[in-house]
Structure 1
Amino acid sequence: MGTNRTDIRSRSGFGSGDGLDAVAALQRAYESGWQPADVLHVARRGLAAVELAPIGVLILREANRSGAWARAPLHWVDQLRTIADTYPRRPDEPSLSTSALRLLRQLQPLRMLCPPPSRWPQIRVEQADVGTDAKVLGRIRGLLAKAESTEFTEEAETLTAKAQELMTRHSVTETLLSAGAADRAVVVRARRIHLDRPYSKQKGLLLTTVGEANHVSTLYNAVDAIATVVGTPADLERVDLLFTSLLVQATQAMRSEHTRGASSAAFRRAFLYGFAVRIGQRLTEAEKAATAQAVVDADARFGDLLPLLTRRSDAVQAEVDRLFGPRLRSWGFTVSDLGGVAAGRSAADAAHLDPNRRAIAG
């Protein structure tokens, strides 16, 4: 499997900032690379649950003041909509706690993935990125629904591999359409995925392996448990879909383990490690086979496909270099429970995807 990489960032602060009120502190964070969902993520990690609603209300109040709904990038607006659904305004708006205000003032700069509010136009001109075709996603979900309904591990694995194959072939088609002209740049984006406690690092490994199988680079910031994924818009969409579904399955499978020591932290870290490694192997095997066949098919119709695939890979790497530069290092794992690794690998062999199914707590 490929190398996992982490972003080594400067931890320099904003300065004294003791006189900043909450809105000013939030605006300062936005100008330093933060986005609304990032703020809520670190708030969940550092504050009590009762302190989160005032943060959500503050974010929405600031969005109204700044005109973000009409000016911000579309993915920023999507974050605001999610926050509005989670923390609807009430007549008795809760007050921001001292610890919440302190957290806002102490937020350290993040990599700038999009223009900050000071550089937004008066009216948004951005158009939505072209994502995966709805019909293709429907076929993928259909395969995964069949995988979920079967009681046979081998059949579930075969159906999952077919879903990955379909994703790969569709990704190749998108590459032909979007990068077929020699003078047309490959569109690459970056987005953040937030990893909740516990076992954030192992969850980051799962995201990395899913990304590697789908031409997406993953960089993990262990300080804030935030992963930055870089790839084409459609590839990012598929990786987010796969990762979310697989993480739910891994958590359910881990909770259903009743072997000796299965509730220990060492077992669960090892379980998630084994699950992530095996999932990566399965998806990569399916991706390689699908790419090889797609290259043969494309050669007959479009000519040599390999240069286009190389252009996509180069474009992703160029964006990683632009955002993060050379300050990257590898990160590894120490596993102390081999039984947990074996159990995780077995769960990965039985894993399937159905993003529309509600999670059932184990």
Structure 2
Amino acid sequence: MSSDKMLARIGGLLRQAESTDNPHEAEAFMEAAQRLATSSAIDLAVARSHTASREKRATPVQRMVRIGEPGKKGLRTYVQLFLAIARANDVQCDIAQSSAQVFAYGFDSDIDTCEALYASLIVQMVKASDAYIKSGEYRTATVQRVVVQTRGRRRYRVREEKPLAGVTARLEFQLAFAVRIGERLGEAKKKAETEAIEAAPEVGTALVLRNKEIELKDFYSSTSTARGTWRGQSATAGFSHGARRAGDRAGRAARLGGEPELGRGSTQLER
């Protein structure tokens, strides 16, 4: 199946997930979309290993994905969401220090899938976190912070629990949302790969997948110029059980969709 046809099929599943009010149907469509994306990537990998010499062989590429405008606050949780999606679709990433851009490394069809899923899920994440803040539920939650206190010549690290600020509540909520989405997509990916391997053991799908993994790893090592460590885990100023539970619930209930035509929507959101 061509990349265009694959994207069109995923788009249909996304729209079905978006239109249904039944959470079980929505989740089924979401998982079907991820399985199709994973299965399509497997098919492409198998095709690459058997491509005739006269055809141009697909190779990994690097693509810049803009997350937001430099200087905007809260972009690190947006990046966390994109990374969660990328991990489930065989795409490696470097992140700009500003968190305004992600440099994705992978095959074109895999990066297309990541951008399509992100365009849908980022809208849901922002809307869900807005609703959480507007509900005022966060005002009953607390945040835990580690502070350093000095007693004489000795310094102690003490964990303090304080009221949860709205800004921190939003970031904690979005971080938990991204983590849950990554787990759901990862489970769908693992299931699709297992089914593909068991369905046609004679094709050598497991070996092809391994070769694809090695090819991408080699491409990333030879292409990436990233230096230092992206401090994604420093996205929030503390840890809030309440906000993270709320974000996790929203991630469990998230539906895919939101763009009328797959891959054409903006991946940025103004704040």
Quick check: TM above 0.5?
yes
Unpaired runs of at least 5, structure 2: 140-164
1:261 aligns with 2:132: no
Counterpart of 2:100 in structure 1 is 225
- d(CA) in 1 for partners of 2:59, 2:7: 21
Following TM superposition, by how much is the alpha carbon of 1:153 offset from its aligned partner in structure 2, in angstroms? 2.4
Percent sequence identity is 26
Q: Note the 1:271-290 alignment, pairs <5 A.
A: 271-290=173-192
Counterpart of 2:243 in structure 1 is 340
- d(CA) in 1 for partners of 2:200, 2:94: 32
The letter for the 1-side match of 2:45 is T
* Structure 2 CA distance for partners of 1:185 and 1:145, relative to 1, 3 Å: closer
Counterpart of 1:191 in structure 2 is 63
Following TM superposition, by how much is the alpha carbon of 1:243 offset from its aligned partner in structure 2, in angstroms? 1.0
SS in 1 for 2:137: coil
CA distances 1:115-142 after superposition (whole Å, capped 9, x unpaired)? xxxxxxxxxxxxxxx97232x3232222
SS in 1 for 2:104: strand
CA distances 1:292-348 after superposition (whole Å, capped 9, x unpaired)? 111122324x2x122211121112111221123584546452542222211111111
Counterpart of 2:146 in structure 1 is none
- d(CA) in 2 for partners of 1:343, 1:313: 35
Question: Contact 2:16–2:29 (CA<8 Å) still a contact in 1?
Answer: yes
- Using structure 2 for the length normalisation, give the TM-score: 0.75
1:237 aligns with 2:96: no
Following TM superposition, by how much is the alpha carbon of 1:288 offset from its aligned partner in structure 2, in angstroms? 0.4
- d(CA) in 2 for partners of 1:131, 1:168: 14
* Structure 2 CA distance for partners of 1:345 and 1:259, relative to 1, 3 Å: same
Aligned length: 228
1:307 aligns with 2:200: no
- Using structure 1 for the length normalisation, give the TM-score: 0.57
Question: Contact 1:192–1:227 (CA<8 Å) still a contact in 2?
Answer: yes
- Structure number, greater radius of gyration: 1
Counterpart of 1:132 in structure 2 is 3
Question: Contact 1:131–1:237 (CA<8 Å) still a contact in 2?
Answer: no
Unpaired runs of at least 5, structure 1: 1-129
Following TM superposition, by how much is the alpha carbon of 1:172 offset from its aligned partner in structure 2, in angstroms? 0.6
- d(CA) in 1 for partners of 2:51, 2:200: 15
* Structure with the higher strand share, 1 or 2: 2
- d(CA) in 1 for partners of 2:108, 2:228: 23
